[in-house]
Amino acid sequence: MTERIFLAVVGAAYLILAVWCSVRPNQTSQSVGYSLAPGSGQSEFLVVYGGLELGLGIVFLIPLFDPEKTWFALIACLIIHACLVLFRSTSLFLYSGIQTTTYVLAVVEWLIFLGSLAFTLLRGR
C-alpha cells in the first residue's frame, strides 16, 4: 500500500507539471533556462514537457486503479528516474550558470529515484 501512495504522489506531481508546462509554457521554460522559439520550439516544449509528463503521471497513477500493476509502475519509476539522475547529475558537472529551479528538480529526481529504489529492493525480498 505504501508503494502505491508513493507512486500516486509522484504521478500527481507529474500531472501538475504537465498542466503547468502546457498552460504556462513561457513561465516554465524560462524557469529552467529555455527560450521557446515560435512554432517548432513551442510545439516541442508542449509535446515533451506537457505530453510526456502527462503520460508519466498516468503510468504512476495506474496502481491506484489496478493494484496488480504496482510492480510495473514501480520498475518504470525506477528506470526513468535512474536515467534522469544520471543525466541531471552529469549536466551539473558539465555546465555552469545553473538556475535554482534546475537544482530543485535535481533534488526531487534524486528523492524519487531513491524512493523507487528502496521500494523495489524491499519488494524484491
Residue 19: its pLDDT value, please? Answer: 96
Position with higher pLDDT, 119 vs 36: 119
pLDDT exceeds 80 at position 60: yes
pLDDT exceeds 70 at position 125: no
pLDDT exceeds 90 at position 95: yes
CA atoms within 13 A on the CB side of 52: 8
Residue 58: its pLDDT value, please? Answer: 98
Q: Domain count of the chain?
A: 1
Provide the residue range defining the domain that includes 53: 2-123
Position with higher pLDDT, 97 vs 58: 58
Distance CA 38, CA 18 (A): 20
Percent of the chain past pLDDT 70, that is, above it, reads 98
Residue 27, classified by CB atoms within 10 Å of its CB into exposed (0-12), middle (13-18) or buried (19+), is exposed
